[in-house]
């Protein structure tokens, strides 16, 4: 006989695992289900930065860079044209949301999730053995030129308005903090409140292990269909499971699950790639670095120095193309003493993004008992736990710790 659950959570990335844990802590009998082991998709390969400093979501690059982007000559952004044309309405909305006022508005609306992110991770970390993977040395942004630094002045002003701390240094002062960073840049901005994980995949898996130790059930299976009739039935690759409520936390695959129920959310997919390098000449780094001009991140990880690319606009079914890694490597070597490549193949992950850079954290508009925690974009590792807490509070009739209105599904015609 099928065992019935209070809640089935679909997706075992950082968002789904955090959601399952929060519901379990509120007395729910929870099934967590994913086709892979927990933390093996995008939660594995990100830069590991907890972006408590984030005040502005990603936006369209400056107009002067658009011709290079369209020719796929900009190392920070790559375009797969068939995917771009299929999602033209999303692209146009993303362009509209990228206006300065739109980015400020969305940044303000995201602050409750970002500001609480580190505290919420620490709550879920209790009872695990991964505290040593949390580093207080978070993100430093590198500006190679006065022009790029001056172009970010409005971001710094907005950060001050939002009481987000940072400091600005030049190459000489940075040498005291990170002596192996090559002094070939104009300014460095250290976001003081940020932190980072040295192995985000292991951290996500540890949260899932805690969930199982405390009585939760994890099932490795592909969800083929969900149907409702006085509850929910999940048809999977290993059988059938029943639950009173369902939470979809399936990242970029959420649309496949929701379309048969009549929901057509517009999610843009921004791919990212990474590879690991050994440090050269005995170099070491404490912080994760973002090279603003070229869009990549270099972060010290347990596996080595992780070189993460910017964004590639491409659908899930498009063959991975790690050309961005080749494009950014010469620029990374200008700043960092990178040694040998530690793995032969690049990793590829998919960031599911709404055009306004805000997730959906809500009940499905036409299906009571179907809940959504999707569309976390570049911030999944950061706001996975805080968005999970908010959703669990909503599901259990508690007072939400922040206003859920900005994350309603009904802001879209779905």
pLDDT for res 413:
85
Is residue 2 pLDDT above 80, yes or no?
Answer: no
Q: Are residues 215 and 330 in the same domain?
A: no
pLDDT for res 337:
97
Q: Which domain holds residue 149?
A: 60-97+139-193+268-353
What percent of the chain is predicted at pLDDT more than 90?
A: 95
Structure tokens given for 287: 């912080």
* Predicted confidence (pLDDT) per residue in 184-234, tens digit: 999 999 999 999 999 999 999 999 999 999 999 999 999 999 999 889 999
The pTM is what?
Answer: 0.96
Q: Are residues 149 and 24 in the same domain?
A: no
Is the Cβ–Cβ distance between 219 and 32 less than 8 Å? Answer: yes
User: Is residue 119 one of the residues assigned to a domain?
Assistant: no
- The strand pair at 139-143 and 288-291 is best described as parallel
Q: Count of CB atoms within 10 A of residue 117's CB?
A: 26
- When divided into structural domains, the chain yields a total of 2
User: Is residue 182 one of the residues assigned to a domain?
Assistant: yes
Structure tokens given for 149: 């630094």
Structure tokens given for 270: 């921004």
Q: Are residues 347 and 304 in the same domain?
A: yes
Is the Cβ–Cβ distance between 124 and 210 less than 8 Å? Answer: yes
* Predicted confidence (pLDDT) per residue in 296-319, tens digit: 999 999 999 999 999 999 999 999
Q: Are residues 294 and 343 in the same domain?
A: yes
User: Is residue 214 one of the residues assigned to a domain?
Assistant: yes
How large is the average pLDDT for residues 64-91? 92
Is residue 261 pLDDT above 50, yes or no?
Answer: yes
pLDDT for res 1:
47
What percent of the chain is predicted at pLDDT more than 70?
A: 100
Q: Report the alpha-carbon distance of residue 55 to residue 294 in Å, rounded.
A: 20
* Predicted confidence (pLDDT) per residue in 101-155, tens digit: 999 999 999 999 999 999 999 999 999 999 999 999 999 999 999 999 999 999 9
User: Is residue 116 one of the residues assigned to a domain?
Assistant: no
**Which residue among 337, 353, 369 closes a domain?**
353
* Predicted confidence (pLDDT) per residue in 28-56, tens digit: 999 999 999 999 999 999 999 999 999 99
Is residue 414 pLDDT above 90, yes or no?
Answer: no
Q: Report the alpha-carbon distance of residue 236 to residue 251 in Å, rounded.
A: 18
Q: Are residues 344 and 360 in the same domain?
A: no
Q: Report the alpha-carbon distance of residue 50 to residue 16 in Å, rounded.
A: 17
Q: Are residues 338 and 273 in the same domain?
A: yes
Q: Report the alpha-carbon distance of residue 288 to residue 285 in Å, rounded.
A: 8
**Which residue among 336, 353, 370 closes a domain?**
353
At residue 62 the predicted structure's pLDDT band, cuts being 50, 70 and 90, is confident
How large is the average pLDDT for residues 361-376? 97
Q: Are residues 316 and 186 in the same domain?
A: yes
Q: Is the dihedral of CA 145, 46, 199, 383 positive or negative?
A: positive
Assign 1 to helix, strand or coil. Answer: coil
Is residue 245 pLDDT above 60, yes or no?
Answer: yes
pLDDT for res 100:
94
């Amino acid at each position: 006989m099928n065992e019935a659950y209070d809640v089935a959570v679909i997706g075992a990335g950082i968002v789904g695992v955090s959601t399952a844990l929060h519901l379990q802590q509120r007395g729910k009998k929870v099934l967590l289900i994913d086709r892979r082991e927990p933390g093996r998709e995008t939660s594995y390969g990100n830069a590991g930065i907890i972006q408590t400093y984030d005040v502005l979501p990603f936006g369209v690059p400056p107009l002067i860079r658009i011709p290079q982007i369209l020719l796929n000559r900009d190392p920070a952004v790559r375009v797969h044209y068939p995917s771009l044309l299929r999602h033209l309405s999303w692209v146009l909305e993303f362009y509209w949301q990228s206006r300065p006022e739109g980015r400020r508005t969305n940044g303000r609306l995201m602050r409750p999730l970002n500001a609480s992110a580190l505290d919420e991770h620490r709550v879920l970390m209790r009872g695990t053995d991964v505290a040593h993977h949390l580093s207080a040395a978070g993100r430093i942004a590198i500006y190679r030129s006065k022009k790029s630094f001056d172009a970010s002045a409005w971001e710094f002003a907005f950060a001050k308005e939002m009481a987000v701390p940072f400091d600005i240094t030049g190459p000489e002062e940075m040498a005291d903090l990170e002596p192996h960073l090559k002094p070939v840049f104009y300014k460095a901005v250290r976001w003081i409140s940020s932190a980072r994980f040295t192995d985000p995949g292991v951290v996500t898996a540890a949260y899932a292990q805690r969930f199982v130790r405390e009585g939760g059930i994890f099932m490795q299976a592909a969800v083929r269909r969900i149907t409702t009739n006085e509850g929910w039935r999940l048809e999977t690759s290993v059988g059938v499971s029943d639950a009173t409520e369902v939470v979809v936390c399936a990242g970029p695959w959420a649309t496949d699950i929701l379309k048969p129920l009549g929901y057509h959310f517009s999610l843009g997919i921004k791919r990212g790639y990474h590879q690991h390098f050994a440090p050269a000449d005995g170099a070491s780094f404490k912080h994760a670095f973002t090279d603003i001009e070229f869009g990549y991140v270099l972060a010290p990880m347990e596996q080595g120095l992780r070189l993460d690319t910017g964004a590639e606009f491409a659908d899930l079914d498009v063959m991975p193309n790690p050309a961005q890694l080749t494009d950014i490597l010469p620029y990374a070597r200008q700043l960092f003493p990178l040694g040998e490549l530690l793995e032969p193949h690049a990793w590829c992950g998919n960031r599911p993004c709404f055009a306004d850079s805000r997730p959906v954290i809500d009940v499905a508009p036409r299906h009571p008992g179907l809940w959504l925690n999707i569309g976390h974009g570049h911030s999944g590792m950061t706001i996975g736990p805080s968005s999970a807490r908010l959703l669990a509070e909503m599901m259990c009739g508690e007072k939400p710790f922040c206003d859920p209105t900005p994350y309603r599904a009904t802001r879209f015609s779905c």
